[in-house]
Chains A and B, each alone.
Chain A
Amino acid sequence: MRVGLVGAGFMGGVHLNAYAGIPEVEVVGVADARLDAAMAGAKLVGARPYASYQELVAAEDIEVVDVCLPTAFHKDLALRAAGEGRHVILEKPIARSIEDAQEILEAFSGDGPRLFVGHVVRFFPEYVGIKEKIDAGDLGTVGVVRTSRRSPFLLGWNDWYADWRVSGGVLLDLVIHDFDFLRWALGEVERVYARGMLGREYNRLDYVLATLRFESGTIAHVEGHWGYPGPFNYSIEIAGSDALITLDSTEPASLELIGDTASGEVPDLASGKSPYENELEHFVNCIESGEEPIVQAHDACEALRISLAATESVLTGKPVTLGGPA
């Protein structure tokens, strides 16, 4: 399958490294307005670099466009690719607004090209294991869930992460991972209350504490930190009536490289493949087989809805009730 990747920044590099391990995929071109970034990315997978999507599709015959652009630019490219009949893999979050997300969903609603959104946490073996144990009833009634995700502040193109209008801050870009996982494992969210830095101060440091109440009754507490002064880390704890499960990425791993705390690097896992490799291989397989993916585009829209509700709560100081899935 011939893939073209657009946006050779931090996430673009992660995707390219993952593609290198997927034999069914040939990344034929990498586009980035910064040609040096496109060249560096292309070199990872033996592709050709391009300075724009336009140049990429003019020169290469690609079936799949992998979009790793800043969030606010997802919609335009996704719509364009859909119009050209190409499948699209979008890095999360799907879009900067619900309106944009719905427009994207609409563009892929027919029998033609398909849309996949990279909510990679669903491809971490340990998170999959947690969901399986919840589904099997091993925890009894799930009462209180606590998650934490703490990341150094990333320096992206034009410092776009620091521009809230483009990135949506820690709620849209980081803890949307936890919102998606929690909704996958626990069902729909009824109510959100969150406090964060928006409207207080927002200077390359975003921090949020959100409380979710699920329709099932479960209470979840979500911590997100952008600008954490240590290495990236995450944890989750699920307290049920019958059992408690904890997972903490700072605890000993099966492989640890001491001395490398590169910002944003995903800690090592026990499985042979990276979660990104699992995710992208799954998407490619879904395109080939016509199967529904583990995370559907609709799920990405609902995760965004939770992030935006939490954002509204931060700004208003009030809890926000979600209207249920659209």
Chain B
Amino acid sequence: MSVRVGIVSFAHVHSPAYAAVLRDLDAADFVGITDEDPGRGAEAAELFGVRHFDSAGSLFEEVDAVVVCSENSNHARDVIPALQAGVHVLCEKPISTTLEDARAMIQASDTSGSQLRTAFPVRYLPSMVRARELVRGGALGRVLAINGTNHGQNPGGWFLDPELAGGGAVMDHTVHLADVLRWMLDVEVKSVYAEIDAFFGAGGTDDAAVLTLELEGGPVADGAFATIDPSWSRGEGYPTWGDVTLRIAGTSGVLDVDPFAQPLRIFDHEKGTPSWSYMGEDMNALMLADFLRGVAEGEPSGASGLDGLRTLEVVLAAYHSGENHEPKNV
């Protein structure tokens, strides 16, 4: 049985990729799209061959689940009514820009019984899944430290507007690796130190940072430390969009994880700039299929609203530390 699903807002750059997956997934009955910008919504609906709904409420009446892709600070506005209408929600990351919003969303899920999940697709990359098995199986002994990066390009648009995005690169990218660390190592983040700045053209927001996290809990990595580089330090000349990497150092081994390591290097005589071509699994498809399975079976997996909140806490602690040059407890 396929799940009736819609998309709320095409504001986020990931929404076209999600729409393409939902159109093709057998488990999905992709019903339609709503958007506070009706022109953008109608255009997207036409592109993907689905209905355009002129209000979120009218979409909620015809679907079991939605993916919310509005601007970060508008997530609560779009997620809470969906949950209250009995619609399950996969919310784009970061879950929100304030703890209050995240808590209200979780509360709405608890009260309504509708599922709230956070879109952390990196968990689904096969090398990440295997890394988790290896680490938890003791392949590295005790984990001592993790050196992580999530680089990208300056995305432009509303991502540079602190009102809508809640911050820059630190808000945009930190959450992916913070989530992976918690999920992979069964730890919580105890404190954060951050150096934050802007160098790569983001203007009024941050685009460069290095975060240092103290981790606690769990059998394999209690007391370990980690760094996250979420910088938008890639540009037009870079052969791919960016990276997600982890170097995990343990007492008896090292695991270097680079899921987007590119096997094909393409040198196009016309374009002049080399590009790398990713041949691996589509993490968005794996994540969306798991979300729909969770809805169909009533047994969600993947990242919860609480997981989204925990990673937002790391981001907010990083901004605090960046201002004060002191580690900040989470």
Q: Tell whether A and B belong to one assembly.
A: yes
Closest Cβ of chain A: how far from B322's Cβ, in Å? 10
What CA separation (Å) do A240 and B214 show in the bound complex?
A: 29
Q: Is B200 touching A241 in the complex (CB atoms < 8 A)?
A: yes
The CA of A191 and the CA of B251, in the complex, are separated in Å by 29
Known: A195-B212, A219-B208. A244 touches B233 (CB 8 A): yes
Query: A318: which B residues are within 8 A, CB to CB?
Result: 326-327
CB distance from A175 to the nearest CB of B (A): 13
A197 to B234, CA, bound (A): 32
Which one, B226, B247, B253, B326, contacts A229 given CB within 8 A? B253
Which residues of chain B from 204 to 223 have any CB-CB distance to chain A below 8 Å in the complex? 207-210, 212, 214, 223
Contact A209 B208 (CB under 8 A): no
How far, in angstroms, from A207 to B212 measured CA to CA in the complex? 14
In whole angstroms, how far apart are the Cα atoms of A175 and B253 in the complex? 20
The yes or no answer to B156 lying at the interface (CB within 8 A) is: no
A211 touches B195 (CB 8 A): yes
Residue of A nearest to B144 (CB): A207
For window 19-69 of A, CB contacts with B under 8 Å fall at: none
Main secondary structure of the interface of A (DSSP, over half): strand
Cα A244 to Cα B200 with chains together (Å): 11
Q: Which of A101-109, A141-149, A285-293, A295-303 contacts B (4 or more CB under 8 A)?
A: A141-149
- A200 vs B142: C-alpha distance when bound (angstroms): 12
Which residues of B pack against A, CB within 8 Å? Answer: 144-145, 147, 149, 193, 195, 197, 199-201, 207-210, 212, 214, 223, 225-227, 229, 231, 233-235, 237-238, 247, 249, 251, 253-254, 325-327
A177 at the interface (CB under 8 A from B): no
- Complex Cα–Cα for A209 and B197 (A): 19
Give B181 Cβ to nearest chain A Cβ, in Å.
Answer: 14
Q: What is the bound-complex CA distance between A213 and B201, given in angstroms?
A: 19
A239 with B326: CB separation less than 8 A: no
Q: A211-B227, A217-B197, A318-B327 are in contact. List 12 more A-B contacts (CB 8 A).
A: A143-B197, A144-B209, A144-B231, A148-B247, A191-B325, A195-B214, A207-B145, A209-B147, A219-B197, A221-B147, A239-B234, A319-B193
Task: Determine how close the nearest CB of chain B comes to the CB of A210; give it in whole angstroms.
Answer: 9
**Do residues A221 and B144 form an inter-chain contact, with CB atoms below 8 A?**
no
Q: Which one of A144, A223, A225, A230 lies within 8 Å of B233 (CB-CB)?
A: A144
Residues of chain A within 8 A (CB-CB) of B201 are: 241
Docked pose: A197 CA to B143 CA in angstroms: 12
Which residue of chain B has its CB nearest to the CB of A223? B147
**Can you list 28 pairs linking A and B with CB atoms under 8 Å apart?**
A142-B199, A143-B199, A143-B207, A143-B233, A144-B233, A146-B149, A148-B247, A150-B254, A193-B193, A193-B212, A195-B225, A197-B144, A205-B251, A209-B145, A209-B147, A209-B226, A217-B197, A219-B197, A219-B210, A221-B227, A225-B249, A225-B254, A239-B231, A240-B199, A241-B199, A244-B234, A318-B326, A319-B326
Is A228 interfacial (CB 8 A cutoff)? yes
8 Å CB contact of B238 from A146, A148, A244, A319: A244
Chain A residues lying within 8 Å of B229, measured Cβ to Cβ, are 144, 146, 221
Docked pose: A217 CA to B326 CA in angstroms: 17
Q: Measuring CB to CB, which residues of chain A are less than 8 angstroms from any residue of chain B?
A: 141-144, 146, 148, 150, 191, 193, 195, 197, 200, 205, 207, 209, 211, 213, 217, 219, 221, 223, 225, 228-230, 239-241, 243-244, 317-319
Is the Cβ of A144 less than 8 Å from the Cβ of B199? yes
Find out whether the CB atom of B249 lies under 8 angstroms from the CB atom of A207. Answer: yes
Quote the shortest CB–CB distance from A220 to chain B (angstroms): 8
Q: How far is the CB of B13 from chain A (nearest CB, A)?
A: 21
Assuming the A-B contacts A191-B325, A319-B325, are A211 and B225 also in contact, with contact meaning beta carbons closer than 8 angstroms in the complex? no
Contact B197 A239 (CB under 8 A): no
Given the interface contacts A228-B254, A229-B253, A319-B326, does A143 sit within 8 Å of B195 by beta carbon? Answer: no
A230 cross-chain contacts in B, Cβ below 8 A: 254
A126 to B51, CA, bound (A): 57
Q: How far is the CA of A230 from the CA of B209 in the complex (A)?
A: 29
Measured between alpha carbons, how far is A195 from B145 in the docked complex, in Å? 9
Chain A residues contacting B327 (CB-CB under 8 Å) are 317-318
Q: Are B200 and A209 neighbours in the complex by a CB distance under 8 Å? A: no
B325 with A143: CB separation less than 8 A: no
B193/A211 in contact, CB under 8 A: yes
Q: Contacts A193-B193, A207-B144, A209-B147: A141 and B253 contacting too (C-beta < 8 A)?
A: no
A269: shortest Cβ distance to chain B, in Å? 23
The answer on a CB contact under 8 Å between B227 and A244 is no
